[in-house]
Chain A
Amino acid sequence: MSDTEPTVDDSTDSALARRIDDLNRIVYRFRQNPMSVVGLAIILSFVLIAVFAPWIAPYPSDAGHGGEPAVHFDQKFESPSADHLFGTDQAGRDIFSRVLFGTRLSLKIGVVVLAAAVSIGVPVGLVAGYVGGGVGMTLMRITDVFLSVPPLVLALSVSVALDSSLTNAMLAIAAVWWPWYARLTFGEVLSVKKETYVEASRGIGATSFRTIFRDILPNVLAPITVKMSLDMGYAILVAAALGFLGLGAQPPTPEWGTMVSQGRDYLPGQWWYSTFPGLAIFLIVLGFNFLGDGLRDMFDVEVQ
């Protein structure tokens, strides 16, 4: 590392090596927090399960794979056994298979809800923070109105108003979620805006659009990413709650919340019906929380 002697040129190798080094550094920081590794392992397992569910699940048709969920009334309410690891439900369907397929739904809910929330919230926060003044004021006050309604109540009313279905549940959750992203982004933009490199970007002659996308957005992504990871769990939880209340996915869809709700009627005798989907919810929320904490630690270190 010499300050003075410029070398002739660089190869793509060195650029590649640098990227690999960047990656190693990130992995090192991430591994500093063992919980985040556990979280990542849990989430990765769920993703793998979601992808390979048709092959792992012993009775894919019970979960509605390739049509309506099958019914086998002769096998109803069998307790957990080698044949049915998590037992069967009132229609004789294999709960293990249904929980595995439920992973697909839950992840889909999390991804769709957050994608919707982020794509509304982040632009609102960016514009409000960067432009400021009356425009920023107006946007943030609108955001505050949404924030002032308790999220579950708003989600409930939206799903009731729109008919109970999974799509409407996701819509409802996204509607209560975006204001948090708007507010987070707004605050981050305000602090990044004070950095000299934003002023420098203007001093170079860059347009506002360019400044926002090149200099501001990349520097507010870290906290947004952390929040997304933490929120994945909550979004799944809220979707499950809506399902539990009968406002989300409708039976016989293998949605965890709906399953817990259905199984409730058969407690405590057929305890396995509610327990295993409940455990799945618990695990995935826990996994996303651990992962989010790990990411936050990682980004915190990076800032220093």
Chain B
Amino acid sequence: MTGSLLDVHDLSVSFDTYEGRHDVLDGVDLTVNEGETVALVGETGCGKSVTARSIMGTLPRPPGDITSGEIRYDGADLLADEAAHERVKGDEMSMIFQDPMTYLSPVYPVGSMMADVATYSGGRDASWWEILKNLLGHRADREAIRERSVELLDRMRIPDPEGTLDRYPVELSGGMRQRVIIAMALINEPDFLIADEPTTALDVTVQNQILDLLRERVEERDLSMLYITHNLGVAREIADRICIMYAGEIVEVGRTEDIFDAPLHPYTRGLLESIPKLTGFEGTGIDGQIPDYTDPPSGCRFHPRCPAAMEGTCDVEPVEEYAVGDDRTVACHLYEDGMDFEDAAAIAADEATYRGEDAQPAEAGVGGER
């Protein structure tokens, strides 16, 4: 692995509740290379946010508990070295959140919040005198910060960036707020961005504009990004590589175009088939639901829902990540380590399909017009 910036290895996280111990993450491996955007894709409750929180060091502990694994950023072991974690969190990483309104304070204008992020981030010690001075508007590098903020907002294509600095979040539209959030995340020139579903709350037309902007900024500064989403269409737009997550395990990793052209893991295939497309909709979906984390299925966690599950194998033997072809791993017993990509694709097409008992024609719809 050359040039890997973030390296999560064998990360396991549990939560203690009334129902017992939830083994939410089970040996997650995740790598983000320098200058690369990786999308972590999974459905509600699959553990993608827990992964992000573990990386950002914001996992509530207890009830959360990191039971094994390591998170390395640029060589430093973040779980072992708290000081390094603080430094990395403050200086090198930035996070973009899903809902701007819960992240932005309603009582401060945009400019003041941006200035605060610029001044205080990184857990830097600030004396109360300094804070008081800042509150009263006598910030030391006030002009410089303002200039930088205006430039950033301008780059986020916010009309009238000067005026926007003096506005309150409620006065901005959803798309504009998300642009402000991204600008804020960029103000301290981080190297690494974690984006947690930043476009989920937005309309498609706005989502596209935000994704374009985000991609532009990331490319321009050669940032690395971990983009968390449940939307495969969005992942396809933004990511170089995609990690598919199911029930606390990474089930498939590959280059974006490879994943979409030839999904290997039955779960990935099921997800892709579940999405209504302009070309048609099969409406088969995946049976069942995410397992109970207090008692996850033995063997492969996906086997109870898998159409290709093999009795005696999938429900018994734990899965490992198999490297298939070039830059591709899949955690599924259908495949073998070191297999040729073509062979794997053939197996996928043969076995991992969802045409169940009532196979429907490709364009069956609710109205049944066709």
List of B residues within 8 angstroms of A2 by Cβ: 288
- A3, B289: Cβ atoms under 8 Å? yes
Residues of B contacting A28 with CB < 8 Å?
Answer: 18
Residues of B within 8 Å of A4, CB to CB, are 287-288
In the complex, B219 has a CB within 8 A of chain A? no
Instruction: Please give me the residue from chain A that is nearest to B287 by CB atom.
Output: A4
- Say whether A1 faces chain B, with CB atoms less than 8 Å apart: yes
B18 to A25, Cβ gap below 8 A? yes
Q: Which of B18, B287, B292 contacts A3 (CB 8 A)?
A: B287
Determine if A193 is an interface residue (Cβ-Cβ < 8 Å).
no
Q: Mark B288-302, 1 if CB is under 8 A from A, else 0.
A: 110010000000000
C-alpha gap A74/B204 in the complex (Å):
92
What does DSSP make chain B's interface, helix, strand, loop or mixed? loop
**Interface code A7-50, partner B: CB below 8 Å = 1, 0 otherwise?**
00000000000000000010011000000000000000000000
- Chain A nearest Cβ from B19, distance in angstroms: 9
| A1-B18 in contact (CB<8A) | no
A-B contact count (CB 8 A): 11
Distance of A25 Cα from B17 Cα, bound (Å): 11
Count of chain A residues with a beta carbon within 8 Å of a chain B beta carbon? 7
- Give, as a whole number of angstroms, the nearest-CB distance from A302 to chain B: 11
Query: Which residue of the partner chain A has the closest CB to B286?
Result: A3
A29 cross-chain contacts in B, Cβ below 8 A: 18
Which residues of the other chain, A, contact B287 by a CB distance below 8 angstroms? Answer: 3-4
Q: How many Å lie between the Cα of A231 and that of B221 in the bound state?
A: 61
Residue of A nearest to B19 (CB): A25
A25 to B20, CA, bound (A): 12
Residues of A within 8 A of B289 (CB): 1, 3
Q: Chain B contacts of A25 at CB under 8 A?
A: 18
CB distance from A27 to the nearest CB of B (A): 10
Residues in chain A near residue B18, CB distance under 8 A? 25, 28-29
Task: Produce 1/0 per residue, A86-100, CB < 8 A to B.
Answer: 000000000000000
Whole-angstrom distance between the alpha carbons of A25 and B289 in the complex? 24
Quick one: CB contact mask for B270-295 with A, threshold 8 Å, 1 for yes?
Answer: 00000000000000000111001000
Q: Which of A218-242 contact B (CB under 8 A)?
A: none
A-B contact pairs, 11 of them (CB 8 A): A1-B289, A1-B292, A2-B288, A3-B287, A3-B288, A3-B289, A4-B287, A4-B288, A25-B18, A28-B18, A29-B18
Interface, chain B (partner A; CB < 8 A): 18, 287-289, 292
Partner-B contacts on A (CB < 8 A) = 1-4, 25, 28-29
A-B residue pairs, 8 tightest by C-beta: A28-B18, A3-B288, A3-B289, A4-B287, A25-B18, A3-B287, A2-B288, A1-B292
